[in-house]
Amino acid sequence: MVVPVFNEEAMIPLLRHKWTEFAQSLPCKTEIILVNDGSADNTLGLLMDWAAADRRVKVLGLARNFGHQAAITAGLDAAGGDAVVILDADLQDPLEVIADMLQRYREGYDVVYGQRQAREGESGVKRLTAWAFYRLMRLFVHPNLPPDTGDFRLISRPCLDALRNMRETHRFLRGMVAWAGFAQVAVPYRRQPRAAGGSKYSWLKMIRFAWTGAVSFSPAPLRLSLAIGLLVALLGLGEGAYAVARALIIRDTVPGWTSSIAITCLIGGAILMSIGVLGEYVGRIFEESKGRPLYLVSSTANIEPAPHGRAP
C-alpha cells in the first residue's frame, strides 16, 4: 500500500491502528509505504516511530512538498509487491474495500479502482463540482476516464511497471492509469467522512489539479480558445454589419464610442485568452525539457536503497 501524507499528525495514530488490524486479516504479505510530502507538523516523527516498531512499515521523507501526485509516484517507485494499492491517509476510503479489490485482482484484472457511490461528510458544492469534473473530462478530454473515481485503486505489477515509465512532470495519475489500458474494473463503495483533521486540498489546489488533468491529456483547451476566437470574430462581423446598415439606412450615425470599446474589449480578451492557454502548454513543455527529478528524498526508514525521481 502506498499512502501519501501531508500534515496528518492527527490521523497517523488512527491510521496505524486501523492498518495494523487490517493487515492481520489479509492472506498475503503486506507492506505500507508512507510518503511524507514535506509536512510542517510532527507527521514525519510519528511515521518514523511507527516504522521503528514495524518492519512492514516503510517511510519516505521528501525534501519538500512536491504535491500529492509526486508523493504517490515516490511510493510507487519504492513499492515491491505483486500488487499495489494507492490510499489516502484520511481513511475516507475504507481499508475493507481492498479485500474486494484483491478478489477482482485474483480474477485477472490489472487495475481495480474504487468507484464512489456516495461521498459522506462532504458539502453539496463539493459533490456537484466532483460530479461535473468527471463528466466534462470524459466528454472533452479523456473518454476512458472512469467517473467518480479518485486515486484509490489496486494496480498489478505489469501495469505498475508500465506506469513507472511515464515520467511527465505534470501528473494526473488516474488519467495515466486509464491511458495505460490493461484490464480494469470498478469496485463500488461509499466514501466515509474524514476521521480526524481537515482536508489539505483547498479549492485552489483542486482547480489546479483539474487544469493539469485537462492540459496533460488533450489539446482541448487550445481548441476551445480557437472556438472562442471564431465566436468573437463573428460578433465583430455582426457589429460591423449593423454599423454599416445603420449608416446607410437610418443615417443617424454618431461616433460609436460604446460599440468600438465593446468590440475592442471582446477581441482583446479573446486574443489574451488564446495566448494564455498557449502559454500554459509552452510553459509545461519548458518544465518537461529541464529533465528534473519528480521528487527528492531527504530521509527514509526500512527502505534501501531510496528511490529517486528520475526515470527508471
DSSP code string of 7-41: S-TTTHHHHHHHHHHHHHH-SS---EEEEE-S-SS
pLDDT at 58: 92
| Chain center to CA of 77 | 17
Q: Residue 82 contacts by C-beta under 8 Å, 6 or more apart in sequence?
A: 156, 157
DSSP string for residues in 220-264: HHHHHHHHHHHHHHHHHHHHHHHHHHIIIII------HHHHHHHH
2-218+292-301 belongs to which homologous superfamily? Spore Coat Polysaccharide Biosynthesis Protein SpsA; Chain A (3.90.550.10)
Tens-binned pLDDT, residue by residue, of the chain (312 aa): 999 998 888 889 998 999 898 988 888 889 999 999 888 888 999 999 998 988 999 999 998 888 888 899 999 998 888 999 999 888 888 888 898 899 999 998 998 988 887 666 556 666 666 666 666 666 666 667 776 777 888 999 999 998 888 888 778 787 788 888 888 888 888 877 766 555 555 556 666 666 666 666 666 666 666 677 667 767 766 766 666 666 667 666 556 655 676 677 667 767 767 776 777 677 667 767 777 788 888 888 888 776 776 655
CB 153 within 8 A of CB 86: yes
Task: Read off the C-alpha cell for 237.
Answer: 462581423
Nearest Cα residue to 228 out of 156, 296, 192, 278: 278
CB 85 within 8 A of CB 150: no
Task: Read off the C-alpha cell for 112.
Answer: 481495480
pLDDT at 282: 73
Q: Residue 74 contacts by C-beta under 8 Å, 6 or more apart in sequence?
A: 35, 60, 62, 66, 294, 295, 297, 307, 309
Rounded Cα gap, residues 120 and 114, in angstroms: 15
CB 295 within 8 A of CB 70: yes
Q: Is the pTM of this model over 0.75?
A: no
- As a dihedral over the C-alpha atoms of residue 210, residue 211, residue 212, residue 216, rounded to 10 degrees, the angle is 110
Rounded Cα gap, residues 113 and 134, in angstroms: 15
CB 18 within 8 A of CB 50: no
pLDDT at 150: 78
Which runs of E-coded beta strand occur in 131-219?
A: 149-156, 184-191
Rounded Cα gap, residues 232 and 230, in angstroms: 5
* Residue 67 backbone phi and psi in degrees, to 5: 105, 155
Task: Read off the C-alpha cell for 278.
Answer: 498557449
pLDDT at 93: 85
pLDDT at 158: 92
State the CB neighbour count (10 A cutoff) for residue 165.
9
**Angle between the N-to-C axes of helices 257-290 and 203-217, in degrees from 0 to 180, rounded to the nearest 10:** 80
